[in-house]
């Protein structure tokens, strides 16, 4: 699909499946400021809660950031913006199922490596390094020794 058409499709799907609405609602409740982003993605700036421990995270087609929209839209952050936008694409496909699926993936990754992201399919698909994750981590010893660990490699 050409990029432009995918952006429109993504925006329509995340609006229809309710995930963008959830993102906007969270932005509203936490009094973060909603700004225009790029490629149909909105940015809610000035997130103040301690969790999650990341500079930004995405809900539907809304990227929520501790920083400003200008910060995220700057050329130097193009890869981070692309990473978060790929999460918006995952919401477009999965809708609210994204949440349980993402948490299972986090749990698996944490169990396997001690990191929530490195073996998390959603983060790998969105681009580990673009999202600020290390490219790879060794599996935990117990897993490396198990048949599953041998299968994994």
How many secondary structure helices (H) and strands (E) does the chain include? 8, 4
Nearer to Zn ion, 40 or 117 (CB): 117
Closest separation between CB of residue 14 and Zn ion, Å? 16
Determine, following the binding rule CB under 5 A, whether residue 37 of this chain makes contact with Zn ion.
Answer: no
Q: Residues 6 or more apart from 92 whose CB is under 8 A from it?
A: 9, 10, 13, 14, 17, 61
Q: In what order do the strands lie in the sheet with 33-38?
A: 33-38, 41-45, 62-65, 56-59
Closest separation between CB of residue 38 and Zn ion, Å? 17
Determine, following the binding rule CB under 5 A, whether residue 89 of this chain makes contact with Zn ion.
Answer: no
Among residues 131, 141, 149, 151, the one that binds Zn ion under rule CB under 5 A:
131
Q: What residues line the site for Zn ion (CB under 5 A)? A: 123, 126, 131
């Amino acid at each position: 699909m050409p990029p432009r058409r995918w952006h429109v499709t993504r925006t329509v799907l995340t609006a229809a499946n309710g995930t963008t609405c959830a993102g906007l609602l969270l932005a509203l409740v936490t009094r973060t400021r909603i700004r225009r982003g790029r490629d149909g993605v909105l940015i809610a700036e000035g997130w103040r809660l301690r969790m999650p421990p990341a500079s930004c995270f995405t809900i539907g087609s809304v990227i929520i950031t501790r920083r400003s929209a200008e910060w995220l839209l700057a050329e130097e952050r193009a890869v981070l913006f692309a990473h978060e936008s790929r999460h918006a694409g995952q919401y477009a496909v999965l809708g609210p199922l994204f949440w349980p699926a993402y948490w299972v993936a986090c749990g698996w990754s944490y169990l396997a490596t001690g990191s929530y992201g490195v073996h998390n399919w959603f983060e790998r698909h969105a681009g580990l390094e673009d999202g600020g994750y290390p490219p790879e981590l060794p599996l935990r010893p117990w897993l490396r020794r198990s048949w599953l660990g041998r299968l994994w490699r």
